[in-house]
Structure 1
Amino acid sequence: RPEPAAPARKSGGLAKPYVQIGIFSVEANAERAAKQMRGAGMLPTVKRSEINGKPFWRVVVGPAPSKSELDALLKKIKGEGFSDAYAVSN
């Protein structure tokens, strides 16, 4: 019998609990952005994807448990120089 799946982390019901820092065509640039977020006390995730066979890397932070924490996270990230950061679903 398969093990039951672990429950998803709760995100306070927010439709878009993550903040996307950016999309990078070079993995090293994504890792540099993630390192900067870690240095600022955040926990980023680098996600690799592909479009038309070309790889790219997204850097996201989250999930935020509430709207106020999401807003604070966005403000902090923009303060780190990522002015085009925005909320995403995952």
Structure 2
Amino acid sequence: MNSEQILLDNWRYLTPEKQSEVLDFMEFLRHKHNREREVKLIQPHMSNSERVKQWIDWAESHPKNSPGLPDVALSRDSIYD
């Protein structure tokens, strides 16, 4: 049995409150993983093209369906508020 099946089998026995806790923990782990990847991006020996590639990879690792910033958030006036 693979780890995904084990997780699913155990998930079914949890109360909704415990399932919510598991989801929160998974979100924490994903955030921690992303932060660790960000730290690895800062390497002084990398060339500019390597840094650009890593930045693009990082940007593409985020969900595509997340809401963007409104235009007003990027306006010159709001930047200096």
Instruction: State the TM-score, normalized to the length of structure 2.
Output: 0.31
Instruction: State the TM-score, normalized to the length of structure 1.
Output: 0.28
Higher relative contact order (CA 8 A, sep 6+): 1
More helix per residue: 2
More strand per residue: 1
Higher gyration radius (CA):
2
